[in-house]
A and B are shown apart, each in its own frame.
Chain A
Amino acid sequence: AAGVIQSPRHLIKEKRETATLKCYPIPRHDTVYWYQQGPGQDPQFLISFYEKMQSDKGSIPDRFSAQQFSDYHSELNMSSLELGDSALYFCASSHFRQEIYNEQFFGPGTRLTVL
């Protein structure tokens, strides 16, 4: 079965550079979530999109932006990178239904290292 695809899997950047992370949801999934997991920490919700519109915002820094495209893939853009941005970035996707609960399927993550 198709899973959530994230690219790249690993990324190394210098301070103050920019980075773009990509997420390709499971086919027919219309909702994408981004999470950040710092070293030894639990994942923290950053932002989510439903039908190409931002649906919720968590602890996403102003230096970060994201969007969901017409094919439902999403990109997380990170500017003015700081050492503290080094983390594992997860994307999850789900298919919206009327019920409250929509299982989120996680991708393998992109490990970003800022030097």
Chain B
Amino acid sequence: AQSVTQPDIHITVSEGASLELRCNYSYGATPYLFWYVQSPGQGLQLLLKYFSGDTLVQGIKGFEAEFKRSQSSFNLRKPSVHWSDAAEYFCTHMDTGRRALTFGSGTRLQVQP
């Protein structure tokens, strides 16, 4: 079955530090991958997406992600974290046959002052 795995349930970083959230996928063909962010009590906001082309994709709020087929990874990065980035981050993929999204288990990011 197609799936995405987020190995880190909870990550804490200091404000201003760099961030990398891990996501691994299992799928034979090129997957359609996304990162969503969910702030407390809020809906889900799309940060960035990948489905073809350049393997380094830029998103909103200064985030980027790199698709690495050799490592089956789609890690999310940000060079300098802001306190407002504290949220839950979901790596997701879309089953091309159904268009619905399948979510990873999420990584909760805490930002220390």
Contacts between chains A and B (CB distance < 8 A), count: 54
> From A31, which residue of chain B is reached at the shortest CB distance?
B99
Given known pairs A42-B105, A43-B103, A100-B32, the reply for A56 and B43 (CB within 8 Å) is no
Residues 81-108 (chain B) with a chain A CB within 8 angstroms: 90, 94, 96, 98-106
**Cross-interface CB contact of A104 among B96, B101, B106, cutoff 8 Å:** B101
Closest to B96 in A: A100
Spell out A's residues near B (CB within 8 Å): 4, 31, 33, 35, 41-45, 48, 55-56, 58, 90, 92, 94, 100-109
17 A-B residue pairs with Cβ-Cβ distance under 8 Å, sorted by A, are A33-B101, A42-B90, A42-B103, A42-B104, A42-B106, A45-B102, A48-B98, A56-B99, A92-B44, A94-B99, A101-B32, A101-B51, A102-B99, A103-B49, A104-B46, A105-B46, A109-B43
